Amino acid sequence: MGQLVYLDNAATTQLHPDVWKEMTPYFTEFYGNPSSIYRFAQTSSQAVENAREEIAAMIGAKPSEIYFTGGGSESDNWALKIIAETYRSKGNHIITSSIEHHAVLHTCQYLEKQGFDVTYLSVNEQGIIDLDQLKQSIRPDTILISIMAANNEIGTIQPIAGIGQIAKEFGVFFHTDAVQAFGHIPLNAEEMNIDLMSASAHKIHGPKGVGFLYVRTSVKLPPLIHGGAQERGKRAGTQSGRSLWELWYCWICCSGKTCSRSHERDDRIRERTAGLSDRKD
């Protein structure tokens, strides 16, 4: 059999060897429970919190706005259900696009069964939504716009800043599924008026089953999993493996070196993606 040429990096990526090397000590040496109070466990809890800080800095958020999850699907489900269930008294209309990942589309279908009304925006031949159509679809009872940052099949990058601007203007929450965008294109929650953002590590050479949901402080967030105090009481469960985030983060953004200045990170991301978003062919 010939050598395998793997071309399906949108489905998942190979774990980067540097990530593997860096994460191994957290399985074998620093295996303490990050929630334990003794010194031995502090190495792993520090790694979790370092990862939270780095990720927050990367997307222009506060560390307290980052919730580690079990991947992109969980983050998408949580985001949509948070807004739908918590803000139902304000309205029951949600806007999304027809080309979202199933993690969003099937959650919308579930919410429709719960009585929510969902508008599925169409896209043009490049797979881009129309901002005027978005504006026209907003109603007094609209509570959420959920539009993905980059599409998993065709790579289309949506005008996230423009969507965020409209959402802000109309006082509607904006969630973006950034699973295919995080680590590839600069994303800044503050500048782009993003209220919730989902991401997943295995799309950018990190481990599977690890993700995060960014939730702006002003959004009311009910717990997803009840139990321990992890993730500030919102998602209980021992944070095993969460420290791994730091490692793939370092590789993807900083070529193996930790850097916490956002302009350096953005420059590196731009170098890696130069020419991708303005290709005409």
Ligand X SMILES: Cc1ncc(COP(=O)(O)O)c(C=O)c1O
Question: Which residue's CB is nearer to ligand X, number 45 or number 177?
Answer: 177
Measured from the CB atom, is 111 or 138 closer to ligand X?
111
Taking the least distance from each CB to ligand X, the nearer of 177 and 231 is 177
In the complex, the smallest distance separating the C-beta of residue 26 from ligand X, rounded to whole angstroms, is: 20
Report yes or no: 114 and 81 within 8 Å, Cβ to Cβ.
no
Q: Which is nearer to ligand X, 153 or 264 (CB)?
A: 153
Compute the least distance from the CB of residue 116 to ligand X, in Å: 20
Report the DSSP beta bridge partners of residue 157: 150
* Least CB distance to ligand X at residue 69 (A): 9
Scan for tokens 């279908």, then name that residue.
109
Residue closer to ligand X (CB basis): 184 or 202: 202
State the residues that interact with ligand X by CB under 6 A.
71-73, 76, 101, 103, 148, 152, 177, 179-180, 200, 202, 211
Rank residues 72 and 183 by Cβ distance to ligand X and give the closer one.
72
Closest chain position to ligand X (CB) = 72
Q: How far is the CB of 50 from ligand X (least distance, A)?
A: 22
CB of 190 to ligand X, least distance (A): 22
| Shortest Å, Cβ 90 to ligand X | 26
